[in-house]
Copies of this chain bind each other. A is one copy, B any other.
């Protein structure tokens, strides 16, 4: 397998040392709009299977040419979701497989944004499902940690733990702190604003609906010493992916932002500073969200100052295989000290980067195969979860209190 990895930001750079320990691929071409970033990512490992090129991810023709020139079988998209569509289309046109960790962006409903979805996350990709099937190529979408591992957990629960499922709720939280900053998000603020301020989407009784941002706050008690964190509904791919393959009455995604972060995001929205549209200020034109991102430290550079653990997981409630009410939380924890020591990557970035590598290994070995636009829950979860152990980063399961019968 020859892979074109597009994006040498936090996650893309973290992919390199993870993949370098595996032997399932022949070559990975690391591409970035900044040659220096791609070169730095490759220089981090002493491995001739990696090379670096410059590439503009927004230029479909250029991406297609790179896929052909480097004879890549797979395009691995590790840039922000603004570039999903050109990359997705370039892979299809070049006859390559495709993997991403964030799907094509949504557009709110024009008149009822907080009641019903408009264009949903991934809609533009699923619209091309027929073309991918016809080309007999696989577009594995939403294959990071969340979405990604969270969807694998949902599939595992449906196949091996439950006879019927009432609710699947992805829950993400951490106790990470960053020394020396008043405020320093541990993940891309651009993406966090996008997913938190768009109307959250919920699957319920056979249809999707949306709510006001930050709806249904709950305190979720995270494992591994993280403890209780305030979580709220946000827009996330799992809610759009899981119901396509797994029957459940309700699917939600709640992000453990914590009170402070929720307050910051609400203020950005109140002041119109969340907008990604350019506005005129004096003689200059700038998107408020880009300015916010420019003022904050780059999360990928904060690993040395970070402490704590991050937890991604899927909580499932329903009837067990024996017909008895059951509630479980399937989860994956990364300790920042461990990921920094082992891989030189901070925990959130590392946790996002490991799962697509595992998935590509399963595809390379022919364990996961298919054609069309498919989510992680379209495949057998067991080989994935087993292989994750081999990557030194095991998942776990917590049996929750019995639900009221």
Question: Could you tell me if B286 and A281 are in contact, using CB atoms closer than 8 angstroms?
Answer: yes
- The complex is assembled from copies of this chain, and their number is 2
A295 at the interface (CB under 8 A from B): yes
Count contacts on A: residues with CB < 8 A to the other chain.
27
Question: Could you tell me if B271 and A263 are in contact, using CB atoms closer than 8 angstroms?
Answer: no
Interface string of A255-284 (1 = CB under 8 A from B): 000000001100111111101000111101
Interface string of A161-205 (1 = CB under 8 A from B): 000000000000000000000110000000000000000000000
Q: Which residues of B contact A183 (CB under 8 A)?
A: 270-271
Contact flag A295-B270 (CB < 8 Å), given A282-B286, A286-B282, A290-B281: no
A397 at the interface (CB under 8 A from B): no
Question: Could you tell me if B282 and A295 are in contact, using CB atoms closer than 8 angstroms?
Answer: no
A296 at the interface (CB under 8 A from B): yes
Question: Could you tell me if B280 and A295 are in contact, using CB atoms closer than 8 angstroms?
Answer: no
CB-nearest residue of chain B to A183? B270
A292 at the interface (CB under 8 A from B): yes
A108 at the interface (CB under 8 A from B): no
A291 at the interface (CB under 8 A from B): yes
A294 at the interface (CB under 8 A from B): yes
A182 to B273 CA separation, bound complex (whole angstroms): 13
Q: Which of A93-116 contact B (CB under 8 A)?
A: none
A282 to B287 CA separation, bound complex (whole angstroms): 10
> How close is A298's CB to chain B, nearest CB, in angstroms?
14
The listed residue (B269, B271, B275, B282) touching A292 by CB distance below 8 A is: B271
Question: Could you tell me if A263 and B273 are in contact, using CB atoms closer than 8 angstroms?
Answer: no
The listed residue (B264, B279, B294, B295) touching A294 by CB distance below 8 A is: B279
Question: Could you tell me if B267 and A295 are in contact, using CB atoms closer than 8 angstroms?
Answer: no
A288 at the interface (CB under 8 A from B): yes
User: 27 A–B contact pairs at CB < 8 A?
Assistant: A182-B269, A182-B270, A263-B263, A263-B267, A264-B270, A264-B271, A267-B267, A267-B268, A268-B271, A271-B292, A271-B295, A271-B296, A272-B295, A273-B291, A273-B292, A273-B295, A280-B294, A281-B286, A281-B291, A281-B294, A282-B286, A282-B290, A284-B286, A286-B286, A286-B291, A288-B291, A288-B295
Apart from A271-B295, A273-B295, A288-B295, 13 more pairs, CB < 8 Å: A182-B269, A182-B270, A264-B270, A271-B296, A272-B295, A273-B291, A273-B292, A275-B295, A279-B295, A281-B286, A284-B284, A284-B285, A286-B286
